[in-house]
Each structure stands twice: as C-alpha cells, then as structure tokens.
Amino acid sequence: MANNTYDSKDIVVLEGLDAVRLRPGMYIGTTGPKGFHHLLWEIVDNSIDEISNGYGDTITITLNKDGSATVTDNGRGIPVDLHPTLKKSGVEVVFTQLHAGGKFNNKSYSYSGGLHGVGASVTNALSEWLKVEVHKNGRKYYMEFSSREINGKLKSGVPLGELEDVGPTKQKGTVVTFLPDKRMFGDIVFNFETINKRIKELAFLNKGLKIELTDLRQDLHVAYHYEGGIKDFIEYIDEGKTKLFSTPMYFSAESDIVKLEVAIEYTDSYTENTFSYVNNIPTTEGGTHETGFKSAWTKVFNDYARSSGYLKDKEQNFLGEDFREGITCVIAVKMHNVEFEGQTKTKLGNPEAKTEVERLTIQEITKLLDNKDYEKFATVVLDKAKAAAKTREAAKRAKEISRATKNADNFNLVGKLAACTSKKGEKSELFIVEGDSAGGSAKQGRDRMFQAILPLKGKPLNAEKKRIDQVLGNEEIRTIISALETGIGEDYNGENLRYHKVIILSDADQDGGHIRAILLTFFFRYMRNLIMDGHVYIGLPPLYRVFKKGYSEYVYSDYELPAAIERAGKGYQIQRYKGLGEMNPEQLWETTMDPDKRTLVQVTIDDAAEAEKMVTTWMGDNIDARKAYIALHANFNREDKFNEEFMD
C-alpha cells in the first residue's frame, strides 16, 4: 500500500508545458476519434490509478449535452496545497505542467497506467475549457482553465484564477469537466459505445470497482461492478464456447517487482486467445510479461507430464503452442517504472517482468497442481496438448507449403490472381472479390499498375470451427495465404506483405456479408497483425443507380435513395444492383475501385476481448446467440451499421 498522505511535495516536475497543440500526435496519437477519446481516458486513468492503489471505489462518467464530459471519483483528491518549488497549487501544477504528477516516484502511487505524467495537462491543453472540483479534507476547491487568445496568440489551458476554497463538503475525490476544442478536433463527438466497451473492461480488471456511464444526450446509462474480476472477465469472453473444465483456473501472486493476476480457461476451439494488461493498459502486442507466462506454462506442464508418466522417456516434450491450443487467458500485471514500447503503450518492454512473471507463475501453478482438485484440469491441458501435437505434425507439410509463397504455382494461382505491375507493397492493393463474374469485371476495370485481383470461386472455410490442417486444406484460403506472402500463425511476417491494402469486395447482401465475416474470421485467427497493422479494408459497392438522360447518380444505401430520387427529378429510372457481377468494368472502377471516388472501411481492433467475443458469436456454434446478434446489428445496406459491426 502506498503512503496515505498525498501532498504537493509528492508531485515531481520534469519540465514545463510544451506547445501540445503544435504536435498533438506526440501526446494523443491522432486528432481523429481515437485521439479525441484519449483526452477522456487520461482523466479516467487518473481516477483508476487512485482506486488501484486502494483509495476509493467509484468512478462516474457523464457525457453532457454541450459536448463536454465529466469524470468523478471518490479518491483522495488532487493536492490543493502549494507546491514547494513552483509555489502554485497542486491542482494548477497537475493541469498546466506537462511532465508533472505523483507517479514518477512510488510514494503516492504503487502502480500507475499514467506513465508519462502528461495526461491531465494534455487534456487541458486540447480543451476549449476545463473545470476542476476537489473535495479534500472536508473542503471543496474549484479552479477553471481556458484556451483563449492573449495578445493575439492562442494560449492553451490558461488558469482563469487561483484555486478557490468554495466551502465545506462531505464528499471526497475529484470532479473534472472538460470540452474538447473544436479548433483541434472539428465535429468529432464522444461515442457512447466506444466508452462503454472500455469501462466494462476496466471494471473486469479492477475487482470491486463501480464504474458508471451516463449519456445525457441520448438518455443512456450503464453501470458495471464485478466482484470476480478477471475470473468474471474470462467467463464473459468465452460465453457461447464449449468449456473443457467447469471453472477457470485462477491465481494471483505479488513480489517487490510485480503484482500478478492470471485466469485461464480451455475450450474446444483450436486457437489461442491471450489478453494481457499492465496497470490496466491493454498490451495488444504482448511483451515481456506474456513471454514470461508462456514460458512458465510450457515448463510446468511438460514437467508435470514427465512426473505423472503422461510423457514417456522416449517421447519429445510438447511445444508451447501445443499447450496453448484452445486456451483463453487473461494476464493482468501491475508494476513500478513501466517501460512501454512506444507512446501507444501496446507492448511491455521491461526485461525484469519476464523473469518475475515466469517465476511467480511456476510457483503458483506448481502449488495448484499439487491440489487434487486440479488433477482433472491438468488432464484437460495434457489431452488438449497431445491432440494439438498430432494436428501440428499433420499440418507441418501444409505450413511448409504455405511459407513457400514465392512459388505461386503451388496453389494454382496462375489464372486466378491477376497481379499488379508494381513490386512495392506499400503502393499495391489486393482486391479479394466474390465470384468469377465480378472478378472478371474487376480485372478489366482495375489500374494494373497497383491493383491486383483475386476472385473467390466459392465460400472460404470458416476458420472458427476447423483445425489448422483443415484450414490449410481449403483451396480458397491457400490462395489468399499465397498471394499475401506473409505466412500464418506464429510464422506470420508482416515485412513480407505483398499488398499493403487488402480489400474485401463482396455483394451488399447477406451472402456477401457472410463471406466478409468468414474472411475477417480467418484474418483474426491466423493473421491478426494484418488487421492490427491497418492493412484490411472493406470495399462498399453501390446498391442503386438513379439515372435519366443527362443525369446519373450511384446510391450506396436505402437511406440515401429518396434524396437521390428527388435530385434526379421526373423521368428517372432506378437500376438495382443485386451483385457486383451486374456492373460492367467501367462501373465497377468508377464506383468501387477508383481511389478518388470509392469508399473503403478500414477494419480495426481497439478491443481485442470484445472482438474475440464477437467472432465467437458470429461464427461459432451457438445459433441462438448468432440470431440475436444479427437481429440487433446486421444491416448490410448501411455504411454506419457496417462500421459498428466490424470496426473497433
């Protein structure tokens, strides 16, 4: 537990406030929707850090009608006394000094997701105004900041006055309200569902946390509170899957270096799903903590297989990938002095995390396996590994073939893939097109310099329900693997990617939607970094052409059709495109392939756990869950619904 006192002397200042507005990408990544929401996460993370360190238990987020957001917690409250060297209140220091906070030493916070200490000040710098209420020591304090012109120059986050003692209060904690500046973000607004997904994840990761979200713009309210923490999280992720053991395995351990929590469950699926976090930050690219856990898991179960006689003396040890087939694992680490690789905080770099997580995992799993209650769990893991090893051997030849991508004839690509002239991957596009007819039009209508076409004759295999050897046995999947030249699974190498834009082009109907889902499932399961690195796109073809003599307009949704008819006026005709194959090469180029006119939706994964649950629901065996999901979300003619369904 950190020290209970939290005063201005605990705030360490590294340097003054820089011109955040000049280079916002350095601090929030982008001035698009992700960077916009980053302003909110910086304030929420400060509240989470309070609660993670044992101070308070409740956070509320309110999206106000004027576009601002309010974050309230019941922690200790930001320091209000004067900083010993700056002679300013702690509130003013936190919101105006770029590298200032109580997280650069371990006195006030044992664990913190706010590594850089730029959060509150960056949110202030990029807001039109920001207001702070602090309830501390029985008193309420208030301070306001504004970004405004002073002597003809725009000044960011300027205090409008000193910190004011408003009067007595029975509350404790901090309330921050801010309005992101339209001069930086344009017309972007807070997205309820984006925030909803993240706070649910935070509730899972912080056992006992109560977190609420209210959207006054839409009269929406959600609240989350999970006493089981990551054990509840793993049950949520695997809902709808067939579990091989009645309850998840769970353990926690702590040392001077890390605090570790792990929950593990096995299902009858054929892929590995590991979700890791450091100080509540999702480490989607893994890192040293994941490496340490996986190494320990492999060692402990190989040793157990030997000592129990499951593996004979002449038999080879299982590989780590054998033990992880069908695993769903949540690894939550809290530690001091976190070193993330990059400002995006997606990969842990601390070398000591590997050693310590490995040691603690070996220690705790060994204890559990000595308990007879876990004998069945151990048998499940070993039986699953044995079956996976057999599959691995059966797939070995197929994997070797899949890596031999330079010889495209192996997969009969000649006659299928119409390659482009350019050899530069960053300038090349691959259209995966539904059907030979549409493929023929695309081949004729494309720009041969940078656009390649790969028609699919039939539906690819649903990778969600098949083993790797079965997936590689599907001709359509093999052609895709061969065309991309990256390999799959653990052999995936993004540096070899032949086409940096992989565009799925299918009909705007339910069959086309199913093909999109199948392809996205394959990429998610076996080429996840292809999506993570931003290379996968969906092409949106038109549904209609409204035309008459001297007038022609393409319409991309039913919603847009009435307005298009009104623009056309009397005497119009409507052509309904039932599929891509009904368009001639010129029409397909003009509507769907021309970079200057087309609409592409980039597929992203901001929440890997939610993406995992969605793929399982969409492509798994639970028919009722799938029907319910389709009824709620599916609308194959609306671009906004398509974004909702496949992005984030």
Percent of the chain with pLDDT over 70: 86
Burial 295-312 (b: 16+ CB within 10 A, else e): bbbbbbbbebbeeeebbe
* Identity of residue 430: L
Q: Is residue 593 predicted with pLDDT exceeding 90?
A: yes
Given 73, 272, 429, 434, the catalytic residue: 434
Q: Is residue 228 predicted with pLDDT exceeding 80?
A: yes
- For residue 145, the tally of other CB atoms under 10 A from its CB is 26
Question: What does the pLDDT read at residue 204?
Answer: 96
Question: What does the pLDDT read at residue 219?
Answer: 94
509 is catalytic: yes
Angle at 489 between CA 488 and CA 495, to 5 degrees: 55
Query: What is the pTM for the complete model shown?
Result: 0.76
- Who's near 21: CB < 8 A, 6+ residues apart? 125, 126, 154, 156, 184
239-259 pLDDT, tens digit per residue, is 888 999 888 999 999 999 999
Question: What does the pLDDT read at residue 307?
Answer: 93
| Mean of all residue pLDDT scores within the chain | 85
Burial 248-269 (b: 16+ CB within 10 A, else e): bbbbebeeebbbbbbbbbbbeb
Torsion of CA 176, 179, 183, 189, to 10 degrees: 120
Task: Give whole-number Cα distances, 179 to 67, 118, 176, in Å.
Answer: 6, 18, 10
232 is catalytic: no
Task: Give whole-number Cα distances, 508 to 116, 358, 597, in Å.
Answer: 45, 49, 18
* Identity of residue 517: A
CA–CA dist 406, 409 (Å, integer): 9
The residue ranking higher by pLDDT, 108 or 97, is 97
Q: How is residue 50 annotated by DSSP? A: H
Which CATH number is associated with domain 404-542+580-604? 3.40.50.670
- For residue 510, the tally of other CB atoms under 10 A from its CB is 11
Element (H, E) at 382: helix 375-403
Instruction: Please state whether 329 falls in left (phi above 0), alpha (psi between -120 and 50) or beta.
Output: beta
CA–CA dist 204, 459 (Å, integer): 37
Given 144, 285, 321, 509, the catalytic residue: 509
Question: What does the pLDDT read at residue 406?
Answer: 41
Given 321, 511, 553, 644, the catalytic residue: 511
- Who's near 488: CB < 8 A, 6+ residues apart? 399, 402, 481, 526, 527
- For residue 337, the tally of other CB atoms under 10 A from its CB is 13
Which CATH number is associated with domain 230-395? 3.30.230.10
Question: What does the pLDDT read at residue 623?
Answer: 61
**Which of 61-65, 256-260, 542-546, 621-625 is predicted least confidently?**
621-625
CA–CA dist 319, 520 (Å, integer): 28
Return phi, psi of residue 390, to 5°: -65, -45
Is residue 271 within 8 Å of 328, Cβ to Cβ?
A: no
Torsion of CA 612, 527, 443, 542, to 10 degrees: 20
507 is catalytic: yes
Q: Is residue 108 predicted with pLDDT exceeding 80?
A: no
CATH 3.30.565.10, domain 8-224, yes or no: yes
CA–CA dist 78, 91 (Å, integer): 6
373 is catalytic: no
Question: What does the pLDDT read at residue 165?
Answer: 95
CA–CA dist 296, 276 (Å, integer): 15
CA–CA dist 324, 476 (Å, integer): 27
